A and B are shown apart, each in its own frame.
Chain A
Amino acid sequence: MINFLILPLLIPFLTGILLIFFARNVVIQRWITAFSAFFNVIIAFMLVQKVRNDGIQTLDVSSWQAPFGITLVSDMLSALLVLTTTIIAFTSVIYSFRSIGIEREKYFYYPALNFLIVGVIGAFTTGDIFNLFVFFEVLLMASYVLLVLGGTKIQLRETIKYILVNVISSALFVIAVAYLYSVVGTLNMAHISVRLSELGQSGLITVIAVLFLIVFGLKGGIFPLYFWLPGSYYAPPAPVMAMFGALLTKVGVYAIMRTYTLFFIHDTGYTHQLLMILTIITIIVGVIGAIAFSDIKKIIIYNIIVAVGVILFGVSVMTPDSLAGSVFYLIHDMIIKAGLFLLIGIIIAITGTSDLRKISGLIKRYPGLGWAFFLAALVLAGIPPFSGFVGKVLIVKGGFESEHYWGAGIVLASSLLVLFSIMKIFINGFWGTPQDYKGEDKVPVRKLLIAPVILVTISVLYGAGSEFIFPYISQAAETLANPGIYIDAVLKEW
């Protein structure tokens, strides 16, 4: 079936629309959302297998041949990211049942959640630069709704900031696409790549490359452009925060990966050098933030920034090893960040605060939560059997091979500080004298734990089975390292 790769996009879209008709009936909404999210995981898994067996899948929407219509492309990277997205969506949905509250659920929470997934999956799947913009807008609009839904004071304030930043960055995106279109005269990503290699990299194209870096850097939170992220991600409830932290910045990261491995590869001396410097500073800034705060949400939020830096450092090095490492680390980080946000969501629900100094001795009463958090912390820091390890090893190896000793050294050192920041939560929050918290008996901890435990289990298996998973990763990295594969798949007989 030629339309197979559009199914992961179509299913949440249809679900989201159907749910609007059942706005008042929360039980039906939950069932439909959970069922469709689970079904979508299976579909996405089949898509990964299909890409593995048959190579890159492309679909020329509405039968127009490749450079003229919109092409949807599912190479291994995008298929894996789609699978990860559906898993995170499913776990966030089942976590929402017990935590988000009936008031939010009545006011289109699940439709907005589904549209967010449509936007993310669409952005991962599209093969057209303007279509990428449209899917960015789809996911951003849904994220505005999810961020403001509930209408508490902090949400309103942070939503204004978030919308302002994203409207500006979207306008910049349009301007960047307009510049690129005026140079190459096409919007299809494979065709842009062909045209750019015919033109060679003039100064104008380098300017456009930097403009794209600014645009996607604003979305993804790299060094001078991350300023909006800590505040905005602090505001929403835990499952929304998990999806934001796991998916939204990673779409920006994916877009940088795509453009910097497919378009701007002819003069890497300037653009990739710039990217590398920015990512290294991003890592340093993120680590400083993660150590400095004693607020558990802020610690995890700054860890997002560290991870964005690490992934993009691998991209900027551009060796096959480091690209494979980036892909591996990207998927690892999406899963474990979602898991960590859901876990600290439970901690905040129990204690009623996110201030680390007011929390202690949780492990006495909640051993399951404690050990799940401990495992998640080890996975995040990249202790050898777990999944953060393989990605980082490959990135560091790539860095040393191409003689970027400083960068690779900072990536290594960042692991230590990330471990320190996350263990600070474990040691201060879970050890020590147990306390009584107001209203903790009302929190259904066991039921809430299901979703993060699924995620932590997946990420442990992901690390332990990296031998089995690595062929998929290297297939993804091969397409990144060698854009000819992508171009041939999209522009048949060009």
Chain B
Amino acid sequence: MSLLHIVILLPFLVALLIPLTSRWTKKIHTGWLVLPVPIVLFIYFLTYIPKTMAGVSKETWAWIPSFQINFTVVVDGLSLLFALLITGIGALVTFYSIFYLEKNKERLNNFYAFLMIFMTAMLGVVLSDNLIVLYLFWELTSISSFLLIGYWYHRERSRYGARKSMMVTVFGGLMMLGGFIILHIMTDSFSIRAIIANGAAIVENQLFVPAMILILLGAFTKSAQVPFHIWLPDAMEAPTPVSAYLHSATMVKAGIYIVARFTPLFAVSGVWFWTVSLVGAATLLWGSVNATKKTDLKAILAYSTISQLGLIMTLLGVGAASLHFDNLNDTIYVAAIFAAVFHLFNHATFKGSLFMVVGIIDHETGTRDIRRLGGLMRIMPITATIAFIGTFAMAGLPPFNGFLSKEMFFESMIDVSHLNLFHAETWGVLLPVVAWISGVFTFVYSMMIFFKTFSGKLKPYLLPKKPHEAPIGLLLPPIILAAFVVLIGIMPNMINKSLLVPAVKSILPKLANDFSIHVSMWHGITPALLMTIGVIIVGLLLYKTHKYWKSWIVTHITQKLQLEKAYDYSIFYLEQGSYRTTMWIMTGWLRTYLNYILGAFIILTMGTMIAASAFNFDLVTLTSVSAVDFVLAAVILVTLIGIVFSKSRVTSIILLGTLGYTISIFFVIARAPDLALTQLVIETISVVLYLLAFYHLPQFSNIEEKPKLLSAKTLISIGVGITMTLLTLVAYDTSFYESISEYYIANAYKEAAGKNIVNVILVDFRGFDTLFETAVLAIASIGIFAMVKLRLTKREDKDENK
């Protein structure tokens, strides 16, 4: 256990301590007690920057060493970038939430406990090297996210959103676990670094592609890629700090992290290249188109997040092409990976600030609906400035950081259309087109967020509250984030050397050490710049005409492809189907269940015998049959037929008695006097017991059914008889081995001083069986006594389903 482990688990420990602080939290906001945790962690992770520029640091804490499951923590460039985002934005969100959530109205201890659990989970995901530990933290993010989305659990929509996100992300998590286990089967290792180091060995393995697809399913569900994006808009029912933290900056990037982390392993495959880029591109387009039709600010931001995650995913997919060139430094596709990492960072900054801005608007006006908002610029100038920076960065306009990463995105998309690999020359042309169209839509919804909220006329009669500027506590965190947006826009190479290049190097480990990339605001008149100019022109046109084409989009595209409806219907029909199936199978009739059991017996036994072609009867070992046997068999046959077809119970009972007595004669013939004696006594007692019970039963004829000759019952009973007969005949062949009875015959008197071999076996050689059969009799008699005597209710329920 090292300091690094303590650092990861610290928020979790704090979460455990939060309930103990209730004495102090009556006076101060719980958030103040929690706030130092992310700040300390952020400062701690800042000290790692020089270390990761040089190499990786690794710490191991043995957990279950016999299964190779150890809590191994590795800090490299990518992990550090994520850890800084998690702790940095975590600190800002905690600070923001102190002013956002009211002390007396909310259950703050719950909120901060969930938030701290989430922080540990997220740090664990990005820092773990062990697949199983990674999966553990992965599920912990799902669970804590579930708790945070359902924070206002008295609202129906919150519960729905929490359940939906849980279903989707846990589905993906389980798929990913399957992928991890396949990886372990192929490489016999749980360490990501070790697996990547042996990556070349498993490419030819036929399990390679299944493992890749399963892990990608996990990444796509978590990062809200099409068609698993449906949970993210519903997760907006969470408090706004949660949306800002989980559903824009950190958790939804866990899937991005997984894709980036496994790029060196899987990216050699064309399947990876196409799946990741095309799913990313589809998400990018679908998210941006859908965002333009929403009227709730948070919903717009949710679809915008989906779209931007798709953008990063596309870049990662395209960047996979770089692995196919020998000298990584020369290939232009490394720039795609760099752009992905760069945009990852930029998106976290501007999207975090935008969510906080929306929270402020909601907090100060009482609504998030853009149809009610407008003209807030003069009332909330600071908020408007932050929103201006955030939305223009998101739209990809200079001089903000979004412009830089969007330019690099366009460049990579143009580059990939020239790629001479995986048949990209045919379909690769689609990527820049999709990128450009979604760029236009991104521009439109970004403008919608800003101008519909802050410009135009103020409509005070539509607002639940009288709007005013937010307190400084709410404004400070988004100001810090917006400052980053501007700073990186002006000095784009500020964090290159320290953060982004180490991250790129950990995604592409083969990259040479002297790799560096220079980002500049003005890089000449390139095709990417022309694309941006086109985006602005077409975007402005579309924004001006928004109200004309919005309904067309809704009716012609998004109504027809409603994945949310598909989810709702599939859940509904799954429940309905399960209910109906259960109702159909579980009839409540014992006879139905008997049919199932006996039918299964016939099918399984006959199936096995047919499959093994076991129908070889050995006639040599059969004993000869005497006339007495025939006569007795005839008696038994007659009594059996009589029992089945008899009309009254007493006749059945008398025939049953006859049957038992005849069987005892069979024991006599087979020279088993003890069995014959016991059989006679037991038969008599049973008959008397039947008579006892019959006194309480209604007349037989009352419930009599005419036995149909060809019903399921008849078929099944005949089938069971035939199966059992065949089984007995097949099993009768005793030629395999000698019987053990020779030993008993030889030793019954010598060893056990008894001449009756049966009794010696019962009480001496195998006395244990007798002991427990005695116990069975004791239990039966006590049970009967209890059932007869113990009457807790006056009348028992006759229906078992009641």
A binds B: no
B binding-site residues for A, Cβ under 8 Å: none
